[in-house]
Amino acid sequence: MADQDAQSQVGSEPPALSVLRWDELPEGPAVVLLDQTRLPSEEVELVCADVPALVRAIQSLAVRGAPLLGIAGGYGVALAAARGDDVARAAELLGQARPTAVNLGYGARRVARAHGAAVGQGAGPGAASAVALAEARALHREDAEASGRMAQYGLRLLAELLPGSAHRLLTHCNTGALVSGGEGTAFAVALGAHREGRLGRLWVDETRPLLQGARLTAYEAARHGLPYSLLTDNAAGSLFAAGEVDAVLIGADRIAADGSVANKVGSYPLAVLAKYHHVPFVVVAPTTTIDLDTVDGASIVVEQRSALEVTEITSPQIISAGSGGFRPAAAPVGAKAYNPAFDITPPELVTAIVTEEGVISPVTGVGLAELCARSSQV
């Protein structure tokens, strides 16, 4: 911890990460991703030249996190259009690649709709595919802008909720530039606090089993020189008991109409701990993550992932690169495992939801519906 503290400093900003971009390669158009399964060991790009390749990248979590999945879905549909593939089928395949993050289907459908409208107005394949790409780019840009506004609202909320100036914030999973067109959701708020000299410590849950906290959030925190410490997910309880957590900040994959929040598995236990210890539990998510068509938490489809992610020491995709086929075992061969990717936190455990359109607190269905109605009028 001493070394990290010595390194933590405000002022020196790292170059922005190139997490996802559209490229016109000599062999054709492509969606180029920073392969998140290889971080933090290697910064390697993954070229997706067609929709099946992008679907595989989404399912292996080479690209992940709700807002970025929306952007990937949008560019994926633009890619299908540019290749002359079936756009409606591409939108369906991409939208179904993972079930929980609502942004994925939103991004894919939005770009497919723009393409369909252009075709409906008589545009030829080239012009319609240009419209699809422009729509994907607009979605990308809007997400970056939303990220900046969420950080501002989140910082204002923290100033109201927390009396001291050296906030000790606990976060789970990864919510930074690696999930966003901008600097992220919850992480962007922590980063803003750091820039204002108000971050005492960022506690980073390692986030079993795929280690998004240890591999990705710690990577982003280190790049920005944040004072951070990793903890195993199971250590959060004793950290709260020791009075070391001032607030929990997390993102969301889907927020149902009643305010229930689906986020990375392990979020719900943190909300219970926060309630018990009278610590604010704050969710930071763009309005594209709010799904008024899903009535409540019980209606959210939670992705179930392979048992291997639990029964092997590191996830299959992490060791797939150059491990010589050796898979260290965490459990006897054939062990069954319960491996939901997400859990649901009921609204009564959530202190506030921070969006780019403002803050909802207390979290109620009425508050969410009003915020969504306001934002759709803008």
Measured at CB, which residue is nearest to ligand MRU?
A: 251
Question: Is 212 one of the binding residues for ligand MRU (CB under 6 A)?
Answer: yes
Question: Is 162 one of the binding residues for ligand MRU (CB under 6 A)?
Answer: no
Question: Is 251 one of the binding residues for ligand MRU (CB under 6 A)?
Answer: yes
Question: Is 253 one of the binding residues for ligand MRU (CB under 6 A)?
Answer: yes
**Nearby residues of 231 by Cβ (< 8 Å), 6 or more positions away:** 203, 204, 205, 206, 239
Q: Give, for 264, the enclosing helix (H) or strand (E).
A: strand 261-264
Shortest distance in whole angstroms from residue 23 CB to ligand MRU? 23
Provide φ and ψ at 29, rounded to 5°: -70, 155
Shortest distance in whole angstroms from residue 61 CB to ligand MRU? 6
CA dist., res. 204 & res. 217, Å (int): 7
Binding to ligand MRU, residues 79-108 (CB under 6 A): 101
Shortest distance in whole angstroms from residue 64 CB to ligand MRU? 3
Stretch that binds ligand MRU, among 59-67, 88-96, 225-233, 291-299 (CB under 6 A): 59-67
Binding residues for ligand MRU, how many (CB under 6 A)?
17
The H helix count followed by the E strand count for the chain is 13, 14
Provide φ and ψ at 124, rounded to 5°: -80, 175
Does 103 count as an annotated binding residue? no
Binding to ligand MRU, residues 331-360 (CB under 6 A): 341
Using CB under 6 A, pick the residue from 38, 64, 109, 115 that binds ligand MRU. Answer: 64
- The residue type of 53 is A
Does 305 count as an annotated binding residue? no
Shortest distance in whole angstroms from residue 263 CB to ligand MRU? 5
Among candidate residues 205, 253, 291, 343, the one labeled active-site is 253
Distance of CA 315 to the CA centre of its chain: 19
Shortest distance in whole angstroms from residue 187 CB to ligand MRU? 8
Q: Is 253 tagged catalytic?
A: yes
Question: Which residues does residue 199 pair with via DSSP β-bridges, in sequence order?
Answer: 167
Q: Tell me the pairing of strands 28-34 and 20-25.
A: antiparallel
Does 200 count as an annotated binding residue? no
Does 7 count as an annotated binding residue? no
Binding to ligand MRU, residues 98-157 (CB under 6 A): 101
**Long-range contacts formed by 165-168: CB under 8 A, 24+ apart:** 165/197, 165/198, 166/198, 166/199, 166/200, 166/201, 167/193, 167/198, 167/199, 167/200, 167/246, 167/247, 168/200, 168/201, 168/203, 168/244, 168/245, 168/246
**Nearby residues of 6 by Cβ (< 8 Å), 6 or more positions away:** none
**Nearby residues of 24 by Cβ (< 8 Å), 6 or more positions away:** none
Q: Which is nearer to ligand MRU, 103 or 129 (CB)?
A: 103
Q: Which is nearer to ligand MRU, 165 or 304 (CB)?
A: 304
Binding site feature residues for substrate? 64-66, 98, 212, 263-264
Q: Which active-site residues does the annotation give?
A: 253
The residues binding ligand MRU (CB under 6 A) are 61, 64-67, 101, 173, 175, 179, 185, 212, 251-253, 263-264, 341
